[in-house]
Chains A and B, each alone.
Chain A
Amino acid sequence: MNSQTPHIRSKWRYLFLFIGLVFLYAPIIILIVYSFNSSKLVTVWKSFSFEWYSALFHDDEFLHAIYLTLTIGFCAATMSVIIGTLAAFVLARFGRFRGQGIFSFSITAPMVMPEVITGLSLLLMFIATANGSHALAGWISEHFEITEGSFLYPVLRQMDGFPDRGVFTIWIAMVTFTSAYVTVIVRARLKETDLSIEEAALDLGATPFKVFVFITLPSLTPAIISGWLLAFTLTLDDIVISQFVAGPKSTTLPMLVFSSVRRGVNPKINALATIIVAIVSICVTLTWYFMRRREKRIMREMAQIKSK
């Protein structure tokens, strides 16, 4: 941040801000207003009601999809933080190494790659793997004469046609897709951290692992938390990639919403949207508030140190 950037009072500036924010928020606000409409026609106002909210909470299909999506989101975000943080660490702290170009490309590219390409290519790979494992399982059972009675039979059954399309494949796809975002966030933070503290610890004989766990990781915590949250919301939101790699029994919430929205506007979706917007706004505002307070506290402490 450039501290010299002046605060400009110009009517143009206020106009730009006004137009921009109206454009960003008007559609969402109108969507929320109509979720309290009792008419089945979303766009014709009749009277105020919570009808669609109760309809939503009595729809088992929706509830199951919500549960499934949250589970996948939680697991994918966690794995994605691990992969993303390691990748960021490698990119920021390891010097040059063989294959660095491919590495940094494949860690950045999923961010911008059109989703249809990522989805299609992952699905075709999963199917190729499933065919391979099917053939391998067949070969093993023939070669080693494993029949139904053998204790290895269940293992072989599991292996046959692995991976099954469903929650597991969505998880893999989401980790691949979201770890790029985590890497960008964590790497930016790694560049800002003070290297001299790590240096000191290394000089005093701490092992690199210890330095990472006790010094680097704590200073990365805010970045890791925001990376986790971003990966989580991206997973909750994804439709194209999930649709490609999902199996018949794993319909996530966005897939369900998409198939119902395709048939036209539906007041139940308005109610769902309102709930999502409410939850996200509360979470983001709280995170923002606490981060800002922390920032202010650090600034104050720094000022105190300087004045001494």
Chain B
Amino acid sequence: MAIANNRSAKLKGIFKSRISKVKFKGSSLVLAIPYLWMILFFIIPFLIIFKISFSEMVDGQMPPYSPIANYEDGKLDIKLNFNNYKFVLSGDDLGLDEFETESEAENGNEGKKEESGWFTKIMRELDNNLYLLGYWQSLKVAFISTLCCLIIGYPLAWSIVHATPTMRSILLMLVILPSWTSFLIRVYAWMGLLSDTGFINQVLLFFHIIDEPITMLHTQFAVYVGIVYAYLPFMIMPLYNAISRVDYSYIEASMDLGARPMTTFFKVLLPLTKNGVIAGSMLVFIPAIGEFVIPELLGGPDAVLIGQLLWQDFFNNRDWPLASTIAVIMLGLVIAPIMWFFKVQRANEVKA
């Protein structure tokens, strides 16, 4: 038996090694087409925004930024300008001096500055800086939305896995179907539901649960609802794959040995589906950080997310270097989660 196993493994190895290293005439061409495309249209553009983030805005010229390298009299002169980074990270020259003096005055009244902890200090710093506040709000919104997606998505994915085979494929299709219809239209649907004269308020008024409409549209709440709604299918798919791969005998063993359902869930099912949880969370969290459409349509003026700030700086203020800087810093924030996602994707593939 052992010998047979060994032999089949060997055979498999031979097959794998032969097939997985196809080399033939033109094989480099097969590689070159997608490779060149991605380098040209994905990698190089990043280098360009990185470069532009170090230049200065010049109004009235096209393109509206200064060159960073100058070639004159046979001498190459490279000037890196860090002002954009300083501006975004410290919020100088933001015209928010008034706010600052105000908060300092408040401090003066309180007397002791040291008493306020580092957290309040950071929060005050955030309040004074539009951009840092934008990054912070985006991270917060993305994190909470991801958590909500997980809380709604996990039971749903679990319920789909445990349906009869026919029902399973129908339910799976029903979950994916909304994501095939337009994203914009799904966000738009919530505008009609959440507005003051919208469906939810009308129903609540009709049943006299409330006396006057609740303001829901153009608030932070609406942004959460929109993001969770739009990204939920992306959470469910990896979770469904992970849960359906779990060997059910582990669950049975755990239950037979007397573990309560909650214990079984946290100690057995959740660890076994860890990769699905991570992949789903990253599929929601990373795009949500740069989200523009949802906060623009559903959100209010009180909490502006970083994607909106980038958009405004680029399209309204035509400050390309600043917009590039915002993008580079945002990239710095998302690169770690992207790598994590990438690693988990690979691990999933090896398993499958």
* Chain A residues with a Cβ under 8 A of chain B: 1-2, 4-8, 12-14, 16-17, 19-21, 23-25, 27-28, 30-31, 34, 41-44, 82-84, 86-87, 89-90, 93-95, 97, 99, 102-118, 120-122, 124-125, 127-128, 131, 172-173, 175-176, 179, 187-188, 191, 195-196, 198-199, 207-209, 233, 236-237, 239-240, 244, 254, 257-258, 261-262, 264-265, 269-270, 272-273, 276-277, 280-281, 284-285, 288, 292
Whether, in the assembled complex, B268 has its beta carbon less than 8 Å from a beta carbon of chain A, the answer is no
Q: Which residues of A contact B314 (CB under 8 A)?
A: 120, 244
The A/B interface has a contact count, at CB < 8 Å, of 280
Majority DSSP secondary structure for residues of B touching A: helix
Q: Which residues of A contact B124 (CB under 8 A)?
A: none
Residues of B180-209 contacting chain A, CB below 8 A: 180-186, 188-193, 195, 197-199, 202
Q: Which residues of B contact A284 (CB under 8 A)?
A: 173, 176-177, 180
A273 to B184, CA, bound (A): 9
Q: Which residues of A contact B141 (CB under 8 A)?
A: none
Among A90, A116, A258: residue with most chain B CB under 10 A: A116
Could you pull out 12 A-B pairs where Cβ atoms are within 8 angstroms? A6-B162, A13-B158, A28-B189, A30-B199, A43-B197, A93-B19, A114-B330, A117-B331, A254-B184, A261-B191, A281-B181, A284-B180
A34 to B197, CA, bound (A): 13
User: Are A240 and B293 in touch, CB under 8 angstroms?
Assistant: yes
Q: Which residues of B contact A116 (CB under 8 A)?
A: 290, 292, 307, 310-311, 327, 330
Contact A195/B15 with A83-B34, A110-B42, A273-B189 known, Cβ cut-off 8 Å? yes
Whether, in the assembled complex, B244 has its beta carbon less than 8 Å from a beta carbon of chain A, the answer is yes
User: Are A113 and B334 in touch, CB under 8 angstroms?
Assistant: yes
Q: In the complex, how many residues of chain B place their beta carbon closer than 8 angstroms to a beta carbon of chain A? A: 102
User: Are B199 and A254 in touch, CB under 8 angstroms?
Assistant: no
Q: Which residues of B contact A240 (CB under 8 A)?
A: 292-293
- Taking a contact as CB atoms closer than 8 A, the residue among B21, B34, B191 that contacts A86 in the complex is B34
Whether, in the assembled complex, B352 has its beta carbon less than 8 Å from a beta carbon of chain A, the answer is yes
User: Are B31 and A292 in touch, CB under 8 angstroms?
Assistant: no
A143 to B163, CA, bound (A): 73
User: Are A191 and B24 in touch, CB under 8 angstroms?
Assistant: no
Q: Which residues of A contact B41 (CB under 8 A)?
A: 122, 125, 172-173, 175-176
